[in-house]
Structure 1
Amino acid sequence: MSKLRYMLPSSQSLFVFEAAARNLNFKLAAAELNVTQPSISHAIKALERHCKVDLFVRDNRGVQLTEAGRLLYDSVRSSFQRIEQSLKTITSNDTHYITVAASTSLAAHWLVPKLSTFQQRHPGIKIKIVTTDRDVEPDHQVDMTIWVRQRRFERPNSWYMCDEIVFPVCSPAYLASKPSMHSVDDLAGHRLIHSFDPHRKRMGWSEWLGMLNSASSVIEPDVVFNDYQLAIQAALAGEGVALGWALTTDLLRRDKLLVRPLAVELRTQSAFFLIANERSSKSAAMQLLVEWVVEEAQAS
């Protein structure tokens, strides 16, 4: 049996101490706990007498934690956080979402349109999609995310999805209204759409053409966006030819909203990987989602 209950005047004293220590203000702690300020002071004094140590230094400026107070507060705070997380986990009416972070284009044009299939198979699994303009590390807020890394990339709780394949895309209307393209060198006569991401390295036209040894590798794009999603929207609107990634343009090409004006493609040395945090990767729901995402990516 734990001796903790004999070391405290009451269990309520821990809640009073935590609120007072966090706010460093007895009045604010009293308002938070819906009690009077004198009752906070009495409870703290009772705890100090019981522990035979000062937990706060009181002066005209307010209160500050003593060394003993800081030690106790660090312990109480971390313990409360663990208890709160455990209660959230076991409480039946607490809806748990699997949070997936992805780029806007990947979420909008690939992940979200496919999610209904997964949720029809597993209606009890709740999913939250958050978009991000940079690669994030899965943590207590993000269960899983998608990165582009070298094919040899390895780390715990990561799964290969598919290779990175890049090729030109445009709308059918643009293709029908412009001169035909027979080789990559013909791109020089077309309106090229370029995108760059401030926080992700994304291949541009010069790099793509250079890796194909095209004589037009020094070509300048006609319009530049700082978001790949905007470049895709411009291509959909018939504004020109954009570089498209096979995974993120898969459904747009199936629906014939985008077409490939050339058969040429570049398979880079990179690939898409699904990354999960260690805690989430152990759940049965997460394993089902991982299997589905990998299966869908490899079928794209």
Structure 2
Amino acid sequence: MKLPPLKALPVFESVARLNSFSLAAEELAVSQSAVSHQIKQLETYLGERLFWRSGRTLTLTEEGRQYLDAISSALLQIERASEQLLGHEESRLRLSVFSSFAVRWLVPRLPELKRQYPQVDLALEMSTENPQLSDRVADCFITVNRRSPAYNYELLYVERLFPVCSQDYWMKIRRQLGRDNPGDEAQPISAKAISQFPLLSTHSIFDKAAGDWLAWFREAGERMPDNANIQHFSHMLLALEAARFHQGIALTNDYMLSTRSDSEDFVRLPCHTVMTGDSFYFAWKISRRGERGLQLLRRWLVDEAIQSGLRGEELPVT
């Protein structure tokens, strides 16, 4: 078996992760010259340059990125296997997750994860867009991206949008539409009636101005009026906050209202829903499928998704 200089591999991983020779030296408790020596030894063995150095700037070369992706899983598996034999049950996992999903659904549930599986030490890596599926980024992901064949995917949620507003704003809508009687609350509201009120739009859902409301009106077979009062926000968290402070009607999804105590501040309007085309998955690397920590987290996420109504029980758990 022909192996590279094994001592150099964790040094390379540390430098690449921290993007710094000095920080890697501090983490590994060695001198910076020792780190430089190990990297040079590895580059000599591979016959490839792993880093570009320009002044104080350090970046991985394309060969360096490919090599890091290839060895990261192996180093993690060695670490996990050693911990098992040593009797260390703790599983340290980095989970990359969308900020809205984390804030509104996942974080409030973390005490239950800790209660059920105290051995799972979970660190959250926030992402605003689909992250690259790579061990360099995280150990596992909640993502709508299923393009990498190197990963397994477990469905958590198929996204749909529906209009909501604050309790106070709901009273204003009812008064303006002449629905003051208690029995009127559940009567469907047309898209034309909704267009009379300020519409709070989230750009990031469809990556276009008012894309969420355009899709919602289109689902109703209507054209959004040219004079519609649209207020634009980059993120659903912002639009939902604006709705909570009585600024209009926002389109949101199920996980945004499924946990937080302030969910009762909102009223879901009796209107149709629109599917965004996005499905949320828990993703983990196929080569790491045997790791107990990943399987415990996967099972817990699926159970929570079912119990909160995000995912139907009829779907098989893979």
Instruction: Compute the TM-score of the two structures, normalised by the length of structure 1.
Output: 0.66
Identify the match of residue 183 of structure 1 among 183, 190, 204.
Answer: 190
Q: CA deviation at 1:3?
A: 11
Would you say 1:251 and 2:279 are equivalent positions? no
Aligned length: 251
Whole-Å Cα distance in 2 between the matches of residues 154 and 85 of structure 1? 20
RMSD: 4.5
Is the CA contact 1:88–1:94 (under 8 Å) kept in the aligned structure 2? no
1:192 match: 199
How far 1:70 sits from its partner (Å)?
Answer: 2.1
- Kindly state the Cα deviation for residue 238 of structure 1 after the two structures are TM-superposed: 1.7
Number of the residue aligned with 2:234: 226
Matched, 1:90 2:82: yes
Aligned runs of 1:18-97 on 2, under 5 Å?
Answer: 70-71=44-45, 86=78, 90=82, 96-97=91-92
Q: CA deviation at 1:143?
A: 1.9
Alignment map for 1:1-300 (pairs within 5 Å): 70-71=44-45, 86=78, 90=82, 96-140=91-135, 141-148=137-144, 156-178=151-173, 179-180=176-177, 182-197=189-204, 203-216=211-224, 218=226, 220-252=228-260, 255-298=263-306, 299-300=309-310
Preserved contact between residue 194 and residue 231 of structure 1 (Cα < 8 Å): yes
Distance in 2 (CA, whole Å) between partners of 1:142 and 1:3 is 29
Distance 2:233 2:270 in 1: 23
Q: Structure 2 regions of 5+ residues with no counterpart?
A: 50-63, 178-187, 311-318
Separation in 1, partners of 2:129, 2:206? 5
Larger-gyration structure (1/2)? 1
Q: Is the 8 A contact 1:158 1:274 kept in 2?
A: yes
1:132 to partner: Cα distance: 0.8
Q: 1:4-61 deviations in whole A, cap 9, x for unaligned?
A: 9xxxxxx9xx88xx99xx99xxxx9xxx9669x9xx9xxxxxxxxxxxxxxx9xxxxx
Amino acid at match of 1:133: T
Matched AA of 1:249: L
The residue matched to 1:173 in structure 2 has which SS? Answer: helix
Q: CA deviation at 1:173?
A: 1.7
CA–CA distance in 2 between the matches of 1:176 and 1:139? Answer: 48
How far off is 1:257 after superposition? 2.1
Residue ranges of structure 1 left out of the alignment (5+ in a row): 5-10, 41-55, 57-64
Contact 2:199/2:231, CA 8 A, preserved across alignment:
yes
Contact 1:148 1:270 (8 Å CA) reproduced: yes
Distance in structure 1 (CA, Å) of the matches to 2:75 and 2:270: 58
Equivalent residues of 2:233, 2:239 under 8 A apart = yes
The residue identity in structure 1 corresponding to 2:112 is T
Name the CA shift for 1:169/1:72 in 2 (closer, same or farther; >3 Å). Answer: closer
TM superposition shift of 1:136: 1.0
Residue 60 of structure 2 corresponds to which residue in structure 1? none
Preserved contact between residue 130 and residue 145 of structure 2 (Cα < 8 Å): no
